[in-house]
């Protein structure tokens, strides 16, 4: 019972969930209309707010622990915390949102939605 490419691998690589070769995004977060390799219609796949929620939870957990470690070891002034963690949140969000959305779109492609 072969299912094709892994949704986790194709999502993290931002590749087509059907063939694993074509690109998934046109731009930063816009899903392509059709795969350039296999022609699969991908724009109809909706990830909703799931990727943003996953990024919030992941970054929140990781950065909270890191902030505690930095405070415990170095006790920097509040402005250092404000600057450091603001930059970390922005950079982390920009780095994680696209692959997380790719995984959610690939999982939704693999498993469908209740109305499909």
The arithmetic mean of pLDDT across residues 34-58, rounded, is: 92
Q: Which pLDDT does position 22 carry in this prediction?
A: 95
CA distances from 24 to 6, 7, 51, 109 (A): 14, 12, 15, 12
Asked whether the beta carbons of 17 and 24 are under 8 A apart, the reply is: yes
How do residues 63-115 score in pLDDT, each as one tens digit?
A: 999 999 999 999 999 999 999 999 999 999 999 999 999 999 999 998 886 65
Q: Which pLDDT does position 111 carry in this prediction?
A: 87
pTM of the model: 0.88
Nearest partner of 55 among 83, 24, 90, 17, judged by Cα: 90
Q: Which pLDDT does position 35 carry in this prediction?
A: 94
């Amino acid at each position: 019972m072969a299912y094709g490419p892994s949704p986790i691998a194709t999502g993290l690589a931002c590749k087509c969930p059907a063939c694993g070769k074509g690109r998934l995004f046109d731009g930063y977060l816009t899903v392509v209309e059709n795969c350039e390799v296999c022609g699969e219609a991908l724009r109809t796949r909706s990830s909703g707010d799931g990727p943003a929620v996953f990024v919030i939870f992941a970054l929140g957990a990781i950065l909270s622990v890191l902030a505690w470690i930095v405070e415990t070891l170095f006790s920097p002034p509040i402005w250092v915390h404000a600057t450091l963690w603001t930059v970390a949140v922005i950079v982390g969000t920009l780095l994680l949102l696209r692959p997380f959305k790719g995984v959610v779109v690939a999982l939704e492609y693999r498993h469908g939605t209740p109305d499909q």
